[in-house]
Amino acid sequence: MSDLKVFIDTNILLYLLSADKEKADQAEKIVQAGGLISVQVLNEMANVARRKLAMPWTEINEVLSLIRSLCSTAPLTIETHDRGRLIAERYGLSLYDAMIVAAALIGGCETLYSEDLHNGLLIDHQMRICNPFRSFKDS
């Protein structure tokens, strides 16, 4: 696993399953470099894979195992919950997005890769949100 202090949001990981080759390749590079995810990310990934992509559990389990072998996983804690609520209030993020941000901050990350959050936003003078697909023509 990488020493690089990055957190990978669910929406980036879902591109590993995408037919969009350019974004799938970029997501693969990010994951192969390693980083931090949270239990929330694993839960969201499993939910989307099952509900929206109708993947069988065996395939979902394989994908999650691969991701967990390449990324460290932060637990869900009351500290994450408390910090996430404050972040949601301060930055106007949804509660679930704020929990992702909180897990990344608590994990000491300097970059949060996400397609859905505010690209370039600096959170608590510590971590910048980065959309790794921003340079793609359809992003």
What are the sequence ranges of the domains in the chain? Answer: 6-130
Tell me, what's the pLDDT at 48? Answer: 96
> 89-111: per-residue pLDDT in tens?
999 999 999 999 999 999 999 99
DSSP 8-state code for residue 137: T
For residue 90, the model assigns a pLDDT of 94
Supply the pLDDT for residue 135: 66
CATH number of 6-130: 3.40.50.1010
Q: Distance between CA 41 and CA 46 in Å, rounded?
A: 9
- Secondary structure letter of residue 17 according to DSSP: G
**Could you give the angle at which helices 78-91 and 95-106 cross, rounded to 10 degrees?**
120
Q: Quick one: pLDDT at residue 4?
A: 55
Is residue 70 pLDDT above 50, yes or no? yes
pLDDT score for 117: 85
Task: For residue 134, give every residue at least 6 positions away whose Cβ sits within 8 Å of its Cβ, in sequence order, or none.
Answer: 119
Confidence of residue 9 (pLDDT cuts 50, 70, 90): very high
